[in-house]
Amino acid sequence: MTVIGWLQIILFCVIIVALTKPLGWYMTRVFNGERTFLSPVLRPIEAGIYRFSGVDEKREQHWLNYTVAMLLFHVGGFLIIYGVMRLQAVLPFNPAGQSAVAADLSFNTAVSFITNTNWQNYGGESTLSYLVQMLGLTHQNFLSAATGIALAVALIRGFSRASARTVGNFWVDVVRCTLYVLLPICVVYTLFLVSQGMPQTLGGYVEATTLEGVKQTIAVGPVASQVAIKMLGTNGGGFFNANAAHPFENPTALSNFVQMLSIFALGAALTNVFGRMVGNQRQGWAILSVMGVLFLAGVAVTYWAEASGTSTLHALGLTGGNMEGKEVRFGIVASSLFAVITTAASCGAVNAMHDSFTALGGMIPLINMQLGEIIVGGVGAGLYGMLVFVVLAIFVAGLMVGRTPEYVGKKIEAREVKMAMLAILVLPLMYLGWTAVGVVYPAAVASMANAGPHGFTEVLYAFTSATGNNGSAFAGLTGNTIFYNLTLASAMFVGRFFMIVPAMAIAGSLAAKKSIAPSAGTFPTTGGLFVGLVVGVILIIGGLTFFPALALGPIVEHLAMNAGNLF
């Protein structure tokens, strides 16, 4: 670890905190339906969209209708992606002449993109046409991100409203999020990325003759427009197979730094939106503090582990850290930081190969995802995931003092706690359950690339990432098989919707409640005690659920490495 390395990490954190308030202010205005500086241009388009599609923007929805609207929207999105993938061979914008994508891979990818996972069983440049990249992937990157944010806003309205029957209008929230938040940022962001060297072209792959006279086919494409929303919307599905490690998908140290910022920007800002909507910004800062504590702890461990290297490298006298699977322009620190960010949020883009990380360095991304990606988290998904944990922490605090727990003026009762527990318990069922199948079913075992405990970690990482809708991978695992295409899709589906529906049920139930004024007995939820309590609850639940699995994978691998065992 170096001083310059830590300065880069600190600079990153400072900029995120500085962005949280202004972005939160702007997004609050957008979701409250107020005028913004973009309204003169965008308002006519917005109104036209509502007229054309028969949406009454004044009519709000009950939480059930809101949820049903969201689900219908996803069914349509699924059909579009699946359709263009199956038909890409006969559709335009296919200069590389890619043939139709297989049914199981198309199914996996379609589920993956509507759930904001963006797991890459597809190979990017070797599998997909430009039309699929644009119409299938770029478009769903926008919509799954807008959906996540809309759901988080609906849950916030549950906390902030009193005796209300409705939580907002899903269509209005999605359209406003897309038009006022995501698109304008992406337009500027795309141009920045191209200025750094990221291609944005519809031209075919380039045939070059290298200095030594060898033919090199260089894949290009409309990369920048997709990468902008891939990062901002915490989607993470790569244009290229190597994702953000590919020089065209992340050309410079600066493009890398901005990509890291854009993963966290909206998720962090949503904590401020929460604070503003419930009438006290300090409530938002308290939640961001919980995230910050967990985040910095993770960064410290991964950076230390990667900078320390492995015993294999030490034995050969190689110093400078574990550079296997990392790019020179990012080095140890930016690769470690990126890995923690991408798994703290549910982004899943990678600028280094996590499979080649040290055992402990690779364990932190795994833990981040197993905790439910609540450290900033996916856009929207992180906040509602975190609020589920807050409900639980408040409940625990209430039990300790024997009082009905309350949070931001709402009594937390049996229904909310049951729904919170449902959301929290269904995730480990998916990743632990499928991992158990994956390590005994022969066709699945054949997919492991590494032997020994590392192979087990590959499988555990895959199902954890899918369930958490992250999308990063220990990429040595051969995921493009019938078994993994189907099981991973089921994990992604359950991980997304069995989280969303209970969260929306909490929103509806809270919105209907009366708001009560804080009294002397109310547990203050803006201070250090609250932050400590939530961190504690998250770690205890996480620790109890995942420690046995981690012990079999990364922990035993670390011990084996120190004992000089190779597999």
Partner 1 sequence: MLREIRPAIVLLLVLTVITGLAYPLAMTAIAGALFPARAQGSLIEKDGKVVGSALIGQEFKDDKYFQGRPSATVAPDPNDSTKTVSAPYNAANSGGSNLGPTSKALADRLKEDVDKLEGENPNAAVPVDLVTTSASGLDPDISPEAAQFQVPRVAKARNMPEDQVKQLVTANTEGRLLGLIGEPQVNVLALNLSLDRTAAK
Q: How many residues does the chain have?
A: 567
SS3 state of residue 291:
helix
φ, ψ for residue 346, nearest 5 deg: -95, 40
CB 266, min distance to partner 1, A:
16
Rounded Cα distance between 202 and 134, Å, is 11
Residue 251 interacting with partner 1 (CB under 8 A): yes
296 token code pair: 């910095």
Rounded Cα distance between 110 and 119, Å, is 10
Rounded Cα distance between 234 and 441, Å, is 32
Q: Which stretch binds partner 1 (CB under 8 A): 397-405, 487-495, 510-518, 558-566?
A: 558-566
Give, as ranges, the residues between 430 and 469 that touch partner 1 (CB under 8 A): 449-454, 457
Among 85, 265, 299, 334, binds partner 1 (CB under 8 A): 334
**Start-end of H helices in 309-413:** 311-315, 331-344, 359-370, 381-401
| Size of site (CB under 8 A) for partner 1 | 127
CB 386, min distance to partner 1, A:
27
Query: Is residue 33 a contact partner of residue 58, using CB atoms and an 8 Å limit?
Result: no
Residue 60 interacting with partner 1 (CB under 8 A): no
Residue 224 interacting with partner 1 (CB under 8 A): yes
Among 22, 37, 282, 312, binds partner 1 (CB under 8 A): 312
CB 232, min distance to partner 1, A:
12
Q: Which is nearer to partner 1, 4 or 520 (CB)?
A: 4
35 token code pair: 């005028």
Q: Which stretch binds partner 1 (CB under 8 A): 138-146, 261-269, 387-395, 496-504?
A: 138-146
Query: Is residue 85 a contact partner of residue 136, using CB atoms and an 8 Å limit?
Result: yes
Q: Pattern 506-545, binding to partner 1, x per CB under 8 A?
A: ----------------------------------------
Residue 382 interacting with partner 1 (CB under 8 A): no
Residue 261 interacting with partner 1 (CB under 8 A): no
Residues β-bridged to residue 200: 222
Q: Which is nearer to partner 1, 353 or 505 (CB)?
A: 353
CB 168, min distance to partner 1, A:
14
CB 176, min distance to partner 1, A:
12
Q: Pattern 174-213, binding to partner 1, x per CB under 8 A?
A: xx--x----x--xx--xx--xxxxxxxxxx-xxxxxxxx-
Rounded Cα distance between 155 and 503, Å, is 7
For residue 117, the tally of other CB atoms under 10 A from its CB is 33
Among 107, 357, 407, 484, binds partner 1 (CB under 8 A): 357
Burial 502-534 (b: 16+ CB within 10 A, else e): bbbbbbbbbbbbebeeeeeeebebbeeebbebb
Task: Give the amino acid at 213.
Answer: G
Query: Is residue 380 a contact partner of residue 70, using CB atoms and an 8 Å limit?
Result: no
Q: Which is nearer to partner 1, 481 or 522 (CB)?
A: 481
Kind plus residue range of the DSSP H or E element containing 215: strand 215-218
Among 220, 369, 397, 503, binds partner 1 (CB under 8 A): 220
Residue 72 interacting with partner 1 (CB under 8 A): yes
Query: Is residue 364 a contact partner of residue 340, using CB atoms and an 8 Å limit?
Result: yes
- Angle, helices 3-31/253-277, rounded to nearest 10 degrees: 40
Q: Which stretch binds partner 1 (CB under 8 A): 32-40, 128-136, 402-410, 415-423?
A: 128-136
Residue 163 interacting with partner 1 (CB under 8 A): no
Among 29, 139, 157, 230, binds partner 1 (CB under 8 A): 139
Residue 225 interacting with partner 1 (CB under 8 A): yes
Torsion of CA 252, 258, 264, 270, to 10 degrees: -160
115 token code pair: 């759930």
CB 324, min distance to partner 1, A:
4
Residue 39 interacting with partner 1 (CB under 8 A): no
Residue 329 interacting with partner 1 (CB under 8 A): yes
Q: Exposed/middle/buried for 310, CB within 10 Å: 0-12, 13-18, 19+?
A: buried
Residue 328 interacting with partner 1 (CB under 8 A): yes
Among 98, 112, 322, 485, binds partner 1 (CB under 8 A): 322
305 token code pair: 């582990």
Q: Which is nearer to partner 1, 127 or 470 (CB)?
A: 127
CB 426, min distance to partner 1, A:
25
Burial 476-487 (b: 16+ CB within 10 A, else e): bbebbbebbbeb
Q: Which is nearer to partner 1, 433 or 452 (CB)?
A: 452
Residues β-bridged to residue 406: 411
Q: Pattern 85-124, binding to partner 1, x per CB under 8 A?
A: --------------------------------------xx
Q: Exposed/middle/buried for 436, CB within 10 Å: 0-12, 13-18, 19+?
A: middle
Q: Which is nearer to partner 1, 251 or 405 (CB)?
A: 251
Residue 321 interacting with partner 1 (CB under 8 A): yes
